[in-house]
Amino acid sequence: MNLPAHTGSQQPAIAVVMVSYRTGPALEAACAAVLAEPAVAELVLVDNGNPPEAQAWLDALASREPRVRLLRGHGNIGFGRACNLGAGQATAPCLIFLNPDTEARPGALVRLAQTALARDALVGALLVDSAGREQRGARRGALTLVSLLVLLLRIGQPGPQAGWRRAFNRLAEPLPQAVVPMETVSGACFAIPRTRYESLGGFDPRYFLHFEDVELCRHARARGVPVLFDPSAHVLHVGATSHASTWWIGKWKFRSLLLYLFGAARV
């Protein structure tokens, strides 16, 4: 079912929450793209741990840009907890969580916010590479033991006619032409009304890194909150800019997957 992207033309006030951990030079481009959008009332930067030169740049940005709020001193508390910390400092009616290795295209954040507020929904963006091609992960099905097995065995097929063998990632399926329901969207860029995020309890703090966005989408669906995908909201996703070790990231990814599959679901 296709849905209208938004109603009305009024631009909502947006609070962007961005968590950074050893992000590197991509952070500057991400912040510049956010602050170029007049509808952004707040950019809450949560510094989970950056080298001195990056911290100096963040300090300078916060000193000259009144919309920037810098949170630091808590250490690396994990992505979900840092997002919750940043969201707790925001006052704008719509939250947009945005990775520090992204560049939001002009108008993308406004479109996401309008749809989220109009539908009281969690709305994900279309992630693209530097050539404008869709990246994997922006639109996905529900993650279950069956869909995980299909993914690992590489036997997934596109389209609902595939039944239980439908691929978890929907990249091979035609790109929708309007806002559509989607079981799982990417945590790299999504919008949600601030009051709705609070009612859901934010990200599950048990997840340190990875799968916290998949869990949030599952939790939202279980609570009757629509999860939507907006193909017109383009966001460049550079990806893999953090200087954290591959082993360290993989460890937390595996732990989070086990928690998602076998841990107690939120109620």
Residues 6+ apart with CB under 8 A from 95: 14, 15, 16, 17, 87, 191, 192, 193, 194, 197
Q: What pLDDT is attached to residue 242?
A: 58
pLDDT, position 240: 58
pTM for the predicted model, two decimal places: 0.93
For the chain, the helix, strand and coil percentages under 3-state DSSP, each to the nearest 5: 35, 25, 40
Banded pLDDT at 243 (limits 50, 70, 90): low
pLDDT above 50 (res 1): no
* CA–CA gap between residue 188 and residue 212 (Å, rounded): 11
Q: Classify strands 227-237 and 180-181 as parallel, antiparallel or unpaired.
A: antiparallel
pLDDT for the residue numbered 11: 79
Q: Are strands 227-237 and 122-128 parallel, antiparallel or unpaired?
A: parallel
For residues 217 and 144, give the distance between their C-alpha atoms in angstroms, rounded to a whole number: 13
Reported confidence tier of residue 244, pLDDT bands at 50, 70, 90: low
Q: Which domains does the chain have, with CATH numbers?
A: 14-140+175-243 (3.90.550.10)
Calculate mean pLDDT across residues 178-206: 98
Kindly tell me if the per-residue pLDDT of 211 is higher than 70: yes
194 strand-pairing partners: none
Phi and psi (nearest 5°) for 52?
-55, -40
Cα separation, 81 vs 184, in Å, equals 20
Percent of the chain having pLDDT more than 90? 88
pLDDT (0 to 100) of residue 4: 41
Q: 94-114, pLDDT tens digit by residue?
A: 999 999 999 999 999 999 999
Distance of alpha carbon 47 from alpha carbon 119, whole angstroms: 31
